[in-house]
């Protein structure tokens, strides 16, 4: 599961990763192009006892033991790198101080040895060698006069560098590609996390949590959008009133009522298409929106829903409760001009249909009116129902409202 989430994130955010890689690589190449090349040269020096200054071999050995003290070799290192020493050199004095200041001069001690390494970095490959030679020559002369007990000599002469030490476009581009990929991955996963958080917040605002259906406000907004965007397409709206649940609503805890409504909502979602919408109309009613659905398909769908919704739903482990819905289906066509009119007609039909003795499906295929003081048709008048409902959608268990057919 975790791998699938990572792969999905990569599929969605591949363009972010690619973009960061391209940006990082291009910035690296552009920076390398405009960065002046820097050259480096090295020279090495060794410190050893001056045999001419000692009368016996024992004195030489003793001087070697003394040379092991880090303070001595560090003193040589500071003298070699000291401007007060190498500025006495005539060749150094010929160099413009402003130019010399741009060159990096450093001295390091080779670990566990009495060898010093002088490093000079700068923009001119020939000038770095000239500076290294001048510093070495001046240091050898100055230090040997200062400490005659030891000999300070040049071990390796500086060489003219063939290629700059920086920039290195290929190496820099490789590092930029690597870090760009890492940054891209971080941004892609951050975007996915942020989008998931936003979607969760959005769901909280449009989802009725107890029932898992959409809220009425969102449901009506979607209905009005469908009416406005597709005025000529088939559109069906159904209201389902659970009278069986309403009869015992006052004695049931809210938690049980929510669980029952949630179970019914899941049944509706399982029987409907992915683009169909289920909303919570009020505490005991659900609404169903079927956009772009032919009437023949709507008829079969609501017959199937009526059968599933009539199944018993367990209230607890000791008892069952039968929920008898009263769905009201309204087919929106050219006869209805606005979504508000569709909602008003459907609410009116629901109020009338809820007065029937049995569960019913009321179909409005044309504009209709209720006759005053008219009793609903009973179930043993099926012949007249079939004749009367010639323009309706349902024959079985359908109660029609007198109107214009």
Cα(352)–Cα(208) distance, integer angstroms: 27
Q: What percent of the chain clears pLDDT 70, i.e. is strictly above it?
A: 68
Sheet-wide strand order for 325-332: 207-208, 213-214, 277-282, 285-291, 235-242, 325-332, 362-364
pLDDT at 375 over 60: no
Cα(41)–Cα(287) distance, integer angstroms: 83
Taking residues 106-125, report their average pLDDT.
Answer: 92
Burial of 160 (0-12, 13-18, 19+ CB in 10 A): exposed
Taking residues 88-109, report their average pLDDT.
Answer: 92
Cα(191)–Cα(195) distance, integer angstroms: 6
Q: What pLDDT does 19 receive?
A: 93
Q: What pLDDT does 385 receive?
A: 29
Q: What pLDDT does 136 receive?
A: 93
pLDDT at 154 over 80: yes
Look up residue 264 and give its two tokens: 């019914």
Cα 244 to chain centroid distance, Å, stands at: 46
Lowest mean pLDDT among 58-72, 262-276, 278-292, 386-400: 386-400
Taking residues 249-275, report their average pLDDT.
Answer: 79
Is the bond preceding 167 in cis, omega lying within 30 degrees of 0? yes
Q: Where are the beta strands (DSSP E) in 34-75?
A: 39-49
Taking residues 148-174, report their average pLDDT.
Answer: 90
Lowest mean pLDDT among 6-20, 168-182, 305-319, 364-378: 364-378
Lowest mean pLDDT among 70-84, 178-192, 228-242, 316-330: 316-330
Q: What count of other Cβ atoms lies within 10 Å of the Cβ of residue 221?
A: 14
Cα(232)–Cα(262) distance, integer angstroms: 33
Which candidate, 266, 282, 271, places its Cα nearest to that of 220?
A: 282
Q: What pLDDT does 179 receive?
A: 94
Residue 55 — pLDDT band, cuts 50, 70, 90? Answer: low
Q: What count of other Cβ atoms lies within 10 Å of the Cβ of residue 278?
A: 24
pTM over 0.85: no
Half-sphere exposure of 73 (CA within 13 A, CB side): 23
Which candidate, 287, 168, 174, places its Cα nearest to that of 236?
A: 287
Cα(237)–Cα(345) distance, integer angstroms: 11
Residue 367 — pLDDT band, cuts 50, 70, 90? Answer: very low
Convert 375-397 to b/e letters by CB count within 10 Å (16 or more is b): ebbeeeeeeebeeebeebbbeee
Lowest mean pLDDT among 213-217, 297-301, 311-315, 324-328: 324-328
Sheet-wide strand order for 150-156: 104-109, 115-122, 39-49, 150-156
Taking residues 371-376, report their average pLDDT.
Answer: 38
User: Do 92 and 100 form a contact (C-beta atoms < 8 A)?
Assistant: yes
Which candidate, 120, 109, 105, 119, places its Cα nearest to that of 72?
A: 109
User: Taking the chain, what is the end-to-end CA distance rounded to the nearest angstrom?
Assistant: 56
In angstroms, what CA-CA distances link 343 with 96, 280, 337?
90, 14, 11
pLDDT tens string 318-362: 555 555 555 555 454 434 556 677 777 777 776 766 665 555 555
């Amino acid at each position: 599961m975790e791998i699938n989430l990572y792969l999905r994130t990569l599929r969605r955010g591949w363009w972010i990763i690619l973009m960061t890689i391209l940006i990082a690589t291009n910035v690296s190449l552009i920076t390398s192009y405009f960065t002046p090349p820097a050259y480096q040269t090295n020279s090495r020096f060794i410190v050893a006892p001056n045999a001419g200054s000692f009368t016996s071999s024992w004195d030489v050995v003793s001087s070697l033991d003394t040379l092991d003290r880090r303070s001595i070799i560090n003193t040589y290192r500071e003298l070699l790198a000291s401007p007060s020493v190498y500025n006495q050199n005539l060749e150094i004095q010929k160099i413009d101080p402003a130019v010399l200041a741009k060159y990096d001069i450093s001295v390091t001690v080779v670990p566990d040895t009495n060898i010093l390494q002088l490093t000079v970095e700068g923009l001119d490959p020939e000038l770095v060698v000239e500076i290294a030679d001048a510093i070495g020559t001046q240091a050898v002369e100055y230090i040997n006069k200062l400490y005659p007990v030891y000999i300070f000599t040049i071990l390796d002469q500086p060489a003219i560098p063939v290629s700059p030490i920086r920039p290195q476009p290929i190496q820099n581009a490789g590092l930029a590609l690597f870090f760009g990929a890492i940054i891209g991955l971080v941004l892609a996963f951050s975007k996915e996390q942020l989008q998931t958080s936003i979607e969760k917040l959005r769901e909280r605002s449009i989802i009725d949590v107890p029932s898992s259906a959409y809220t009425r406000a969102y449901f009506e907004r979607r209905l009005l959008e469908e009416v406005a965007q597709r005025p000529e397409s088939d559109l069906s709206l159904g209201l389902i009133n659970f009278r069986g649940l309403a009869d015992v609503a006052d004695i049931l805890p809210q938690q049980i009522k929510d669980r029952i409504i949630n179970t019914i909502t899941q049944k509706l979602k399982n029987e409907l298409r992915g683009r169909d919408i289920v909303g919570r109309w009020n505490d005991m009613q659900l609404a169903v929106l079927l956009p772009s659905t032919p009437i023949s398909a709507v008829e079969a769908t609501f017959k199937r829903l009526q059968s599933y919704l009539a199944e018993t739903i367990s209230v607890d482990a000791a008892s069952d409760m039968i929920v008898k819905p009263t769905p009201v289906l309204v087919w929106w066509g050219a006869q209805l001009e606005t979504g508000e009119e569709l909602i008003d007609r459907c609410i009116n039909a629901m109020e009338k249909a809820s007065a029937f003795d049995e569960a019913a499906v009321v179909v409005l295929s044309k504009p209709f009116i209720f006759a005053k003081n008219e009793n609903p048709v009973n179930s043993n008048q099926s012949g007249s129902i079939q004749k009367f409902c010639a323009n309706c959608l349902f024959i079985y268990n359908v109660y029609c409202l007198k109107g214009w057919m």
